[in-house]
């Protein structure tokens, strides 16, 4: 149904929309240009709010930010709590014509639920985006400073109770963490989902490997949402908004994230400022954090901001799946309960009923069409933990062997080599689909696989992992991809997680790094190419995960060249060479995964093809020797 187009979740780098295969031809160049994202026009729905107000907030930075507030149907004079969303898309135009056609980056269905529950819903555009003035600076400190000023503005309005919460995911999640770090007076709680914490490490260059796919896809989406704000402004004859959108487009043309990526190929004083999570230790309000492990748009990394939040203030909800599962109706129930407790101040038993860590395992969708897949996502089973203490997770080691094995102890043998660069199989797609691309014809020469013996017991893997690889790269540098899979007793191989590393950027922050989480310094002065014949240790950060490896299954590690992973498209170091992985007593290459204790596996295995974002294929190293996409 057209009215449900909002919940079409394509999870393309911070937003949602409808992806189409239609192709147009540029009239000037004659080159086909794909129309990647299309929102079909629809008849506008009737307002579900009592009143709409629009205006501008002037922040300490001198930025004039456009806001729109939808007020609930309550008795006249009633002061209501406020739920705020701030992003760079069309938040400041909610309630306008485009929004009422479901042409928006916002969750109309969640807004409707919040209004019905007696909240005012407020949207604000970040500086330099859509109708807002100022410079567009993405995740720089001004985002949180502006956000704090907006929160206190919302808390002081005549219709406001003075209590403000923040909601939404992606850009709207990053703005929450940045805002809360500034401790605005009227902020009571935040519910950030799938954030970008550090722009460079999370998406632009994970592991130091350039990933232009994000910027090249996200930029046209950003401009598309400004177009929605423009549509509403034209309907309202809002000349100020229309003039600002035109000005912002001109500024963004000359300061886009694409241009910034070229101008700052390594971390420097400018790119280092694009960090929304740096002040997370200062957050002093309850946090409901949502993340998906196979997030194809922004990754699950989120700069690991949760490490810095006071655990007494933090609740985690985690799931397998793609970027837009924040739209899940099942999750919205938790969000509403969270806000009722900490924004309204209702004694609803949230602290008693909601575990500190809730992991949705083997999540699947009952929605059979793209438009309702994310909204209808539910967990297959649950892990509930009041807190996961350090002693609950133990690093389990798997040592690489010369015969392609993973062993409990280090072994000796000749190094394993593969032709670099190669083209590894893709996993997922821009829409967050559960797909696994075919292996290229020469995959056996351009990748390495290390497989364990059948596991003697169930193994619940949780959190980040580390592949500590001793390697020789004779051409001065190389980019490495590590893929974790489960080879099931039925001959299916199931995707679990990936990680990447540029070997020249292997230098670690020894104080922050742990056996399960290598933290790179990522500083230009620490870049160190490899010398011919030199063995170097590269610790590959494997993304956070939650996966039950069943007794009788095998753990497998693939090592190859970075390949398409959801919306991630890598620009790998391209000099041809032979890459070697060493595995002997002196150069012991080992993979460490976190094993979570106290978790009981459900009676039966999940069904291949139904678990979101974890595709299966026939084991290419098994008897059938072929790959079948599920």
Q: What is the tens place of the pLDDT at every residue in 492-542?
A: 999 999 999 999 999 999 999 999 999 999 999 999 999 999 999 999 999
* Mean pLDDT computed over 290-304: 97
Q: DSSP letter string over 603-630?
A: SSPPPTTTSTT--EEE-TTSSS------
CA dihedral for 336, 346, 174, 497, sign (positive or negative) = negative
Q: Using 50, 70 and 90 to split pLDDT, how confident is the model at 194?
A: very high
Query: Per the domain annotation, does 624 fall within a domain?
Result: no
Q: Distance between CA 188 and CA 318 in Å, rounded?
A: 22
Q: Are residues 487 and 368 part of one domain? A: no
Domain membership of residue 627 (yes or no) is no
- In this structure, the answer to whether residues 63 and 35 fall within a common structural domain is yes
Say whether pLDDT at 39 is over 80: no
Instruction: Choose one of 328, 363, 387: the last residue of a domain.
Output: 387
- Asked if residue 630 belongs to a domain, the reply is no
Structural domain contains residue 318 = yes
Query: What are the pLDDT digits (tens) for 215-231?
Result: 888 999 999 999 999 99
Torsion of CA 160, 165, 168, 174, to 10 degrees: 120
Which pLDDT value is given to residue 40?
73
Answer yes or no: do 407 and 383 share one domain.
Answer: no
Q: Does 545 score more than 70 pLDDT? A: yes
Q: Which two tokens stand for residue 88?
A: 């760079």
User: What is the pLDDT at residue 9?
Assistant: 33
pLDDT, position 36: 53
pLDDT at 12 over 60: no
- Residue 61 sits in a domain whose CATH number is 3.40.50.1820
Question: How high is the pLDDT of residue 388?
Answer: 86
- Beta strand 459-473 with 590-596 is antiparallel
In the DSSP assignment, the letter for residue 187 is E
d(CA 205, CA 568): 10
Determine which of 111-115, 342-346, 364-368, 494-498 has the lowest per-residue pLDDT on average.
Answer: 364-368
Task: Give first-to-last CA distance, the chain, whole Å.
Answer: 27
In a domain? residue 289: yes
pLDDT score at 368: 75
Residue 136's nearest CA partner among 43, 14, 223, 207 is 223
Spatial CA neighbour of 165 closest among 336, 6, 3, 280:
336
pLDDT at 3 over 50: no
pLDDT at 2: 28
Tell me: do 400 and 376 sit in the same domain: no
Residue 6's pLDDT band, with cuts at 50, 70 and 90, is very low
- The pairing of strands 314-319 and 357-361 is parallel
CA-based radius of gyration for the chain: 24
Domain count, the chain: 2
Look at residue 625 in the predicted model and tell me its pLDDT: 56
Q: What is the pLDDT of residues 556-579, one digit of tens each?
A: 999 999 999 999 999 999 999 999
**Band (387; pLDDT cuts 50, 70, 90):** confident
Determine how β-strand 80-87 pairs with β-strand 51-58: unpaired
In this prediction, residue 150 carries a pLDDT of 98
Domain match, 257 and 367 both = yes
Residue 322 has pLDDT above 60, yes or no: yes
pTM of this structure:
0.94
DSSP string, 410-433: ----PPEEEEES--PPPBS-TT--
DSSP state at residue 154:
H
Q: Which two tokens stand for residue 506?
A: 């292997």
pLDDT (mean) for 90-97: 98
Rounded Cα distance between 244 and 235, Å, is 16
Average of per-residue pLDDT across 110-124 = 98
Give the pLDDT mean for 235-260.
94
Q: At a CB cut-off of 8 Å and minimum separation 6, what does 254 contact?
A: none
Would you say residue 44 lies in a domain?
yes
Residues 338 and 239 in one domain: yes
**Dist. CA 556–CA 487, nearest whole Å:** 7
Asked if residue 424 lies in contact with residue 596, where contact means CB atoms within 8 angstroms, the answer is no
Say if 626 falls within a structural domain.
Answer: no
Query: Which of 360, 387, 414 is the endpoint of a domain?
Result: 387
With a cut of 60, say whether residue 314 has pLDDT above it. Answer: yes
Q: Are residues 357 and 448 in the same domain?
A: no
Question: Contact at 8 Å (CB) between 553 and 486?
Answer: yes
**pLDDT interval class at 627 (50, 70, 90):** very low
**Helical pair 239-254 and 213-236, crossing angle rounded to 10 deg:** 160
- Band (pLDDT 50/70/90 cuts) for residue 624 is low
CA distance 440 to 442: 6
Q: Beta-strand (E) ranges in 314-424?
A: 314-319, 357-361, 364-365, 377-378, 381-385, 393-400, 405-407, 416-420
Query: What is residue 35's predicted lDDT score, i.e. its pLDDT?
Result: 52
Tokens of 170: 């992606």
User: What confidence score (pLDDT) does residue 37 get?
Assistant: 60
Do residue 402 and residue 351 come from a single domain?
A: no
Q: 171 is in which domain, residue-wise?
A: 2-387
Inform me whether the pLDDT recorded for 20 exceeds 80: no
Averaged confidence pLDDT in the chain: 92
| Rounded Cα–Cα distance for residues 46 and 247 (Å) | 32
Q: Residue written as tokens 């292996």? A: 439
475: domain CATH number? Answer: 2.60.120.260
Domain final residue pick, 355, 387, 419:
387
Query: Does residue 317 sit in the same domain as residue 426?
Result: no
Q: Do 10 and 40 sit in the same domain of this protein?
A: yes
Picking from 559, 462, 547, the residue whose alpha carbon sits closest to that of residue 503 is 559
Is the pLDDT assigned to residue 628 strictly greater than 60?
A: no
**Residues 438 and 383 occupy one common structural domain:** no
User: Residues of the chain with pLDDT > 90: what percent?
Assistant: 83
Band (pLDDT 50/70/90 cuts) for residue 629 is very low
Asked if residue 419 and residue 383 are part of one domain, the reply reads no
**C-beta separation of 140 from 260 below 8 A:** no
Q: Provide mean pLDDT across the span 44-71.
A: 97
Q: Residue 504: inside a domain, yes or no?
A: yes
Mean pLDDT score, 289-301: 97
For 534, phi then psi, to 5°, come to -85, 130
């Amino acid at each position: 149904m057209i009215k449900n187009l909002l919940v079409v979740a394509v999870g393309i780098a911070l937003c949602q929309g409808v992806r189409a295969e239609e192709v147009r031809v540029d009239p000037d160049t004659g080159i086909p240009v794909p129309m990647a994202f299309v929102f079909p026009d629809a008849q506008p729905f009737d307002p579900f709010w009592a009143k709409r107000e629009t205006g501008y907030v002037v922040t300490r930075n001198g930025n004039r930010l456009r806001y729109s507030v939808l007020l609930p149907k309550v008795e006249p004079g009633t002061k209501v709590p406020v739920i705020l969303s701030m992003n760079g898309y069309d938040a400041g135009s909610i309630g306008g014509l485009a929004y009422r056609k479901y042409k928006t980056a916002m969750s109309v269905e969640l807004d409707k639920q919040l209004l019905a529950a007696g909240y005012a819903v407020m949207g604000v555009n970040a500086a330099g985006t859509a109708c807002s003035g100022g410079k567009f600076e993405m995740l720089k400190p001004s985002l949180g400073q502006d956000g704090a000023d907006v929160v206190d503005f919302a808390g002081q309005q005549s219709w406001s109770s003075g209590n403000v919460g923040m909601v939404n995911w992606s850009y709207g999640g990053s703005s929450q963490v940045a805002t809360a770090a500034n401790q605005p007076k009227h902020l009571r709680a935040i519910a950030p989902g799938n954030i970008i914490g550090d722009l460079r490490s999370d998406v632009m260059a994970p592991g130091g490997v350039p990933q232009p796919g994000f910027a090249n896809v996200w930029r046209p989406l950003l401009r598309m949402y400004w177009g929605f704000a423009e549509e509403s402004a034209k309907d309202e004859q809002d000349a100020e908004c229309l003039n600002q959108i035109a000005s912002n487009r001109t500024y963004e043309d000359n300061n886009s994230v694409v241009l910034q990526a070229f101008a700052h190929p390594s971390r420097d004083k400018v790119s280092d400022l694009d960090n929304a999570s740096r002040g997370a230790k200062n957050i002093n309000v309850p946090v409901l954090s949502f993340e998906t492990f196979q997030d194809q748009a922004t990754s699950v990394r989120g700069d690991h901001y949760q490490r810095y939040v006071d655990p007494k203030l933090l609740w985690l909800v985690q799931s397998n799946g793609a970027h837009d599962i924040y739209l899940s109706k099942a999750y919205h129930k938790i969000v509403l309960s969270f806000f009722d407790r900490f924004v309204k101040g209702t004694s609803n038993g949230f602290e008693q009923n909601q575990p500190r860590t809730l992991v949705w395992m083997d999540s699947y969708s009952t929605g059979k069409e793209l438009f309702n897949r994310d909204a209808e996502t539910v967990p297959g089973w649950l892990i509930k933990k009041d807190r996961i203490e350090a002693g609950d997770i133990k690093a389990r080691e798997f040592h690489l062997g010369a015969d392609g094995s993973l062993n409990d102890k280090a072994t000796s043998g000749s190094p394993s080599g593969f032709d670099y660069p190669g083209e590894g199989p893709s996993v997922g797609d821009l829409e967050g689909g559960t797909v696994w691309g075919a292996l290229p014809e020469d995959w056996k020469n351009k990748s390495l696989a290390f497989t364990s013996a059948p596991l003697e017991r169930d193994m619940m893997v949780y959190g980040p992992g580390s592949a500590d690889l001793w390697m020789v790269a004779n051409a001065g540098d190389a980019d490495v991809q590590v893929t974790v899979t489960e080879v099931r007793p039925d001959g299916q191989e199931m995707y679990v997680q990936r990680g990447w590393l540029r070997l020249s950027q292997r230098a670690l922050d020894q104080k922050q790094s742990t056996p399960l989480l290598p933290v790179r310094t990522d500083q230009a002065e620490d870049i160190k190419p490899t010398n011919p014949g030199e063995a170097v240790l590269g610790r590959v950060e494997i993304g956070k995960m939650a996966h039950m490896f069943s007794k009788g299954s095998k753990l497998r590690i693939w090592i190859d060249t970075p390949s398409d992973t959801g919306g991630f498209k890598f620009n790998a170091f391209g000099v041809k060479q032979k890459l070697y992985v060493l595995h002997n007593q002196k150069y012991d290459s080992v993979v460490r995964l976190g094993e979570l204790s106290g978790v009981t596996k459900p009676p039966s295995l999940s069904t291949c093809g139904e678990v979101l974002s974890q595709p299966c294929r026939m084991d290419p190293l098994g008897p059938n020797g072929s790959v079948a996409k599920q």
